[in-house]
Amino acid sequence: MCRVGIIGCGGMGNTHAGNLAALREIEIAGAADANLGAAKTLAGRFDGCTATDDAEVLLRREDIDIVVVTTPTDTHAQYIQAAAERGKHVFAEKPLARTLEQADRALAAVESAGVRLMVGMVLHFFPEYVTAKQVLDEGRVGRPAVMRTSRLSGHPRASDDWYANSERSGGLILDMLIHDLDLVRWYLGDIERVYAKSLTYRGLDHTDYALITLRARSGAIAHIEGSWALPMGSFITKLEVAGDQGLLEFDSESAAPLRVLRKPSADAAVPGVSVPESPVARSPYQLEAEHFVACLRDGRPFAVSPEDARAALEIALAALESSRTGQPVTIG
């Protein structure tokens, strides 16, 4: 039996806690959040789970084996480091850190403590992306030439509105497009050059949008579109890989096999709405939790290594720099 402590009890903290708790060998033992109410709410979902507003209190507990870090981005590294130094394995939400310096300190702590770290690059557990990877590995589109992805949503809102503070979150590129940057690296290999345009530094009200061009060492070209400019509740993803033998396409808009077209309520208090769904046997986050625990138990490598998480962070920071300076940035 492994006992888990959650640091950061917002949306993702609750998601991971629920998915981990569903596993036989896991017990959620502690919840920490600067907002004690949020910690208590999470703790209240699990028998014997205690809440604190001080992460240090949770980190000092010797009965906790695994720490889940789901705080705002700029504090990920410090909690990873603190947990590692106390001999705890860590699951951290992406991105690994806000800066490469933070990331390297955290990775050094993980290395020297001999604990294990997995960063939540959850696209590795989404069946559409896993299947696309299989299709690519089978050579069905040949050698990849041009890859395009889109990840489009409304602007996220959370405590202190920290997503809107790019000093803390890194904006759309570091918070959300890190998924696609990691995906491009997963499919195409290491990246050589990045050129990006974004609204991140324009000081707009809850609006960000970015278009990123990447050149892989393999020669392949990639294009990433990201939006935090859609109406709240929208979420659209697209993927396309063109190779010398074919083309692979995915669009969440057309791959939603279930649609609820709800009429407005009689008094129109509840507006009419169309909600698409794509149900799968187990959610990507559930698969991610299972993978994390199984790899810890069996000593197997994680699907996403700490180095992969660092590489994605490096590309995201390069894209941010390019969008700030107007110049391409060479990686490594």
Partner 1 sequence: MVRVGMLSFAHMHALSYADVLGETPDAQLVVIADENPASCREMAARFGAEAWTIEQLLNSDVEAIVVCSENTRHADHVVACAQAGKHVLCEKPLATTIADGERMIEACARAGVFLSTAFVCRYLPPIRRAWEMCRGGELGEIFAVKATNHGTMPGGWFAQKSLAGGGAVVDHTVHVADLLRWFLDSEPVSVYAEIDRLIHADLEVDDCGMLTIEFENGVFATIDPSWSRPGGYPFWGDVTVTLVGSDATVAVDGFGQVLTVHGRDAPSQWVHWGSSCDALMIGDFVAAIEKGQQPPITGQDGLRATQVVLAAYASAEAAQPLKPADLRP
The residues of the shown chain that bind partner 1, judged by CB under 8 A, are 143, 145-146, 148, 152, 193, 195, 197, 199, 202, 204, 207, 209, 211, 213, 215, 219-221, 223, 225, 227, 229-230, 242-247, 326-328
Nearer to partner 1, 226 or 306 (CB): 226
Nearer to partner 1, 67 or 212 (CB): 212
User: Do β-strands 26-32 and 50-52 pair in parallel, antiparallel, or remain unpaired?
Assistant: parallel
Nearest Cα to 72, choosing from 1, 175, 193, 144? 175
CB of 216 to partner 1, least distance (A): 10
CB of 211 to partner 1, least distance (A): 5
Asked whether the beta carbons of 155 and 207 are under 8 A apart, the reply is yes
Nearer to partner 1, 146 or 275 (CB): 146
Q: Is the peptide bond before 95 cis (omega within 30 degrees of 0)?
A: yes
Instruction: Give per-residue burial for 53-92: e unless 16+ CB within 10 Å, then b.
Output: eebeebbebeebbbbbbbbbbbbbbbbbbbbbeeebbbbb
Q: Which helix (H) or strand (E) holds 84?
A: helix 76-85
CB of 141 to partner 1, least distance (A): 8
Nearer to partner 1, 253 or 267 (CB): 253
CA atoms within 13 A on the CB side of 165: 11
CB of 94 to partner 1, least distance (A): 24
Asked whether the beta carbons of 4 and 27 are under 8 A apart, the reply is yes
CB of 258 to partner 1, least distance (A): 21
Nearer to partner 1, 21 or 199 (CB): 199
